[in-house]
Amino acid sequence: MLNLKSKLSTSPEASKSSRISIRDKLLLREVQEMEQYLPKTCTSNFEDPNILHDFTITICPDEGFWLGGHFRFHIDVPEDYNIVPPKVHCKTRIWHPNISEGGEVCLSLLRQNSLDSLGWAPTRTLKDVVWGLNSLFTDLLNFEDPLNVDAADHYKRNSDDFKAKVTDFILRYAKR
């Protein structure tokens, strides 16, 4: 992270040959803020500390159905960020009404065009994205407007069996 920051403060000669995108300037500030205010159940991992637009967040819920699991989310921040939201994909197989088995994530603040006022806006930050993802395991858990309809229906039919399947998925795919 500091290496990219040093790129911004290089000599005028160096800045003529290499331009720093608006996205990368925003990410310098936002990644620091995100890491400063990470929920205690989350960790971030930047494979390359000079590439702030491509990273992983791991969420380890400390309550609820997914307690004991480690769920990895890949976050890719596109070049036209903050006009468009980051792309988020769950890399851990999970049985969840708001996350498909293929890893798609249903979180209103990640929607570019939302009918409600909860979709993406340029005033949102990476910190909001991480807190939103973390909340999918607690207060934003939504069985009424699911992405994974099978998981939501499973819960409505038999919540005990739903819990057993969640536990099975944790044991198979989310223990690390």
Rounded to whole angstroms, the Cα distance separating 127 from 134 reads 11
HSE-CB for 48 with a 13 A CA cutoff: 6
Q: At 117, list the tokens.
A: 């006022």
In the set 42, 60, 90, 106, the catalytic residue is 106
Whether residue 82 has a cis bond before it, omega within 30° of 0: yes
Rounded to whole angstroms, the Cα distance separating 172 from 133 reads 21
Sorted by sequence, the CB contacts under 8 Å of residue 161 that are 6+ apart come out as 154
Type of residue found at 24: D
Alpha-carbon dihedral angle through residues 42, 171, 138, 72, given to the nearest 10 degrees: 40
Rounded to whole angstroms, the Cα distance separating 134 from 58 reads 9
Give the 3-state secondary structure of residue 34.
Answer: helix
State yes or no: is 106 an active-site residue.
yes
- Residues marked active site are found at 106
